[in-house]
Structures are given as C-alpha cells and as structure tokens.
Structure 1
Amino acid sequence: MDDVRELYDGCYRRLVAQLFVVCGNLAEAEDAVQEAFIRALEKPRRFSAIENPEGWLRTVALNIVRSRFRRAATFQRLMRRTGPTADSVPGLSPDHVALVDALRRLPWEQREVITLHHIVDLPVREVAAQLGVPEGTVKARLARGRTRLGPLVRDFVEEVDHV
C-alpha cells in the first residue's frame, strides 16, 4: 500500500499529462489514471510483482481511455441513426448555463441536496433516504447551499427580472 502511495505521489501528474495529450480532456485523463490506480490496489500482490509499475499504469489508463472513446463513438453512431435530431433537442438557455455554473461552485453535499430537492423535486424525506443521511442533515445542507448560492445567482436573477 505504501509503495502504491509513493508511486502515486511520484507519477500521477506525469501520467495525467501524458493521457491528456492522448485524449485532449483533462477530466477524462484524470479519471483514467485514477481508475488504473484503483485496479492496482484491487490486486496488490499481482501489482507488486510488476517490473515496470508506471508503465503498467500507463497501459491500463490508455486502455481505459480507448475503451471509453470506442463506447462514446458507438453511442454517437447509434444516436445519429436512431436518436433525436439536433433540431428536436433544445439548446441550453443562458439561465440554465448560469445556474449549472453557480451550482458547480458549491460543495458537493450542498449541490447534491439542492439538485435533488429543487431540480428533481424530491421532498426532504426522500432526499434523506436516497443519500442515507438524517432529514436534519438535508435541511442544514439546503440552508447552507441556498445561502452560498444566493450571491452566485443574484446577477442572473436580476437580469431575468428586468427582461
């Protein structure tokens, strides 16, 4: 476990940079490298016997990126054949983009409860059950999230009110 930690500290950034060059998407590169490390941790004995662990991680991460790329390409082909046309899919309105941007600035727990409660329209009780937390925790996260979200959407709300 300590060996993997040292390897992670020593080569994670380098591997992400290498994968980024291949796939052109930083988040995808990070996900693939993290998944490679997870696979290494799932079989520690086998991984410790590998002669070139960084090379193994790179190969696994590249295979993950390739696999995701193939799946995405297959999905796109299927959607062109059977899915909705570009005309029938509404574009994102500026207010939708602004709201998503504001929500991304919130901590995960607050974003999660606000989305489930206000966007998915689940009652507090169901949000609590789905997340496995007490209702009071959901209410507290909602309150804190709304407080943080207010200044982030104030300009956007004022623009909508004036139009």
Structure 2
Amino acid sequence: MSGEDQLRDLYDASYPRLVGQLTAFTGSRAEAEDVVQEAFVRALGRSRGFARVDNPEAWLRTVAVNLARSRWRRVRRFAGLLPDLVPDQHPDLGPDRVALLHALEALPAAQREAIALHHLADLPVADIASALGVPVGTVKARLSRGRAALADLLADDPEGAPRA
C-alpha cells in the first residue's frame, strides 16, 4: 500500500474525530475543518517522514492545534477580536451542544484547549502537556479551573433558564 493510500485510509478513519475535537477547541466547525485539512495537507507534503510517525493521528491533532493557535494569534493581532460563535453556524447541533460550545468559548483559551483535548479527544494529561508544551501540573490546573467554570456557565438557575 502506498503512502498516499495509507494517508487516505487515515483520513477516512480520523477526519471526523479530529474535526469534532477541533470544533470544541476552536468554537467553529468551519475553522476546525480548515485546520484539520491543512494538517492532512502537511502530512501529504511530508509523506516519507510522516510514514515513520508513531501515532499519526496525534501528529495531525498537534499540527491542527498549532495551526488554530497561530490563527488565533493572527486574528488578535490584526483585528483584536476572536470570531464570535453564533448558534446558526451549527444548524445540525442540538441546543445542548450549542450551549456547550458557547460555554467553551467563554473559557480562557488555555482552559478551553485543555478541556477539549482531555474530554473530547480523550487524551491523557501527559499527552496534553506534551502537545501544548506545558508541565503536567499546568494541564491539571487548567482542567480543574475549566471544569469549575463550565459548571457555573452550564448550571441552571431556579427558574430553569441556563445562566450566561
């Protein structure tokens, strides 16, 4: 099987999962699709080196995360604003999923990254630390603070309306 065929099989198996993980990470399905596709393009351009990677999906996820971070920095530098997440960008998601995406967007980027990679990508803390280039203790703190913030953001008030 050629390298391109192996990459095609990896794409078929990993693309939906990576897009789901990066949607939570970025807050935008379109942005997630862009960075995941760019990660696959980079893998294709490095087919010999990519064939020797121990965990190709983890490599792709790391590249996509780094691309998303670079885009965030660029947006902040030139526009001063991160893109807003609006419910009509996600017509195929239920109201609970949209509320979760809104709550994730409200978190600081570092906490959102840790939550998305741990709870949606099912990565262990050590792998997250490696992917983000931070100590394990930092990841644990971000997860703890992020969970607490999400609990507050998603908690219902006595009248049944979600808090903002």
Query: Which TM-score applies when normalising by structure 1?
Result: 0.47
More helix, by proportion: 1
Higher relative contact order, structure no. (Cα contacts within 8 Å, ≥ 6 residues apart) = 2
- The structure with the larger Rg is 1
